Amino acid sequence: MREGKIYVSELSTTKHIFNNYHFCRGNSNRRKTRIGVIIKGSGTYIYLNKKLNVTEGDIVFVPENIYCYSEWHGSPEIEVIYVSCFMHYEQWQYEPQIINRDEGIKNDLIEIADLLSIDFMKELEAYSLFYKLLQKILPRMTQSKISYDKTLQTAIEFITDNWNQDFSVGDLAKKCCVSESTVYHLFRKELGQTPIKFQNFIKINVAIEYLEKQNYSVATISRLAGFHSENHFRKVFAGITGTTPLKYRKRKYTR
């Protein structure tokens, strides 16, 4: 690829709508570059020892080469529209960032998302519009030399891939070839939480999906979300969401 050349492939769109709270693991093996519009709610992208806070109206860029997970809150709804692709370039380095609140860029992204939802011919039109969009946003973006702790990255990916398995911090430390104290220190320093709390965020998000989409009992959801004790599940759920599983479900259906 010639220096300065850039092209995209597999352009696609997704719309995410959740109620009140959502934790996104972001653990796809085929991560794409995402450009998103925050329609409702607010969130935090966590990546490479850093955090990026976004709120309604922001336009965010998340590159494909960085593992990134996110936590969302809405009153009551969360809605985010992404246009995603594999973006091929060699000469630049970016990290997740807010582009700006440009209404024109927002409208372009929504139009591209709509075109991608129609048919093949409209998809060609979407590609054309997306390249024009890149012409607008790339000059506005901040390039950066990215450095990160590979141990923390390995630990995060292991937890997100094995959230429903029983493993100790010792097991996690062995996977990362470091001591337990090193794992604890990294999570506390860079993410402000323990490895177990990070795993619980994922479990509670799974539970929320069942509460919203299925009529399972709390006991059943507790098991499906990987908890061995219903009481422990209720305690962790309340600590993260601020309410009980049944109240969360009731709030969803009485809005």
Q: Please, which pLDDT band fits residue 146 given cuts at 50, 70 and 90?
A: low
CATH classification of the domain holding 21: 2.60.120.280
Residues 157 and 67 in one domain: no
Mean pLDDT over residues 63-70, rounded? 81
Is residue 179 located within the same domain as residue 58?
no
Q: What angle do CA 150, 154, 155 make, to 5 degrees?
A: 120
Residues spanned by the domain of 96: 7-140
28 phi, psi to nearest 5 deg: -65, 140
Work out the average pLDDT over 186-209. Answer: 88
pLDDT of residue 102: 86
- Output the pTM of the full model: 0.72
Do 43 and 167 lie in a common domain?
Answer: no
Domain boundary among 87, 106, 140: 140
Q: Which of 32, 37, 88 has its CA nearest to residue 63?
A: 32
Assess if residue 123 is contained within a domain.
yes
**Which pLDDT score is estimated for 144?**
80
For a pLDDT cut of 70, what percent of the chain falls above it? 92
175 and 82 within one domain = no
Do 207 and 131 fall within a single domain? no
Dihedral angle at the C-alpha atoms of 187, 189, 192, 198, nearest 10 degrees? -10
The count of structural domains within the chain is: 2
Do 17 and 135 share a domain, yes or no?
yes
* Domain assignment present for 145: no
Nearest 5°: CA angle at 10, between 23 and 27?
25
Q: Tell me: the pLDDT tens digits for 10-61?
A: 999 999 998 888 888 764 445 789 999 999 999 999 876 678 999 999 999 9
pLDDT single digits (tens) 232-244: 999 999 998 888 9
Res 1: pLDDT? 37
In a domain, 1, yes or no: no
Percentage, residues of the chain above pLDDT 90? 53
- Residue 2 inside a domain? The answer is no
Which residue, of 140, 167, 189, is where some domain finishes?
A: 140
CATH number of residue 226's parent domain: 1.10.10.60
- Nearest alpha carbon to residue 23 among 173, 144, 251, 197: 197
Q: Does the pLDDT of residue 124 top 50, yes or no?
A: yes
What pLDDT does residue 180 have?
Answer: 94
**In which band, very low, low, confident or very high, does the pLDDT at 252 lie, cut at 50, 70 and 90?**
low
CA distance 94 to 149: 17
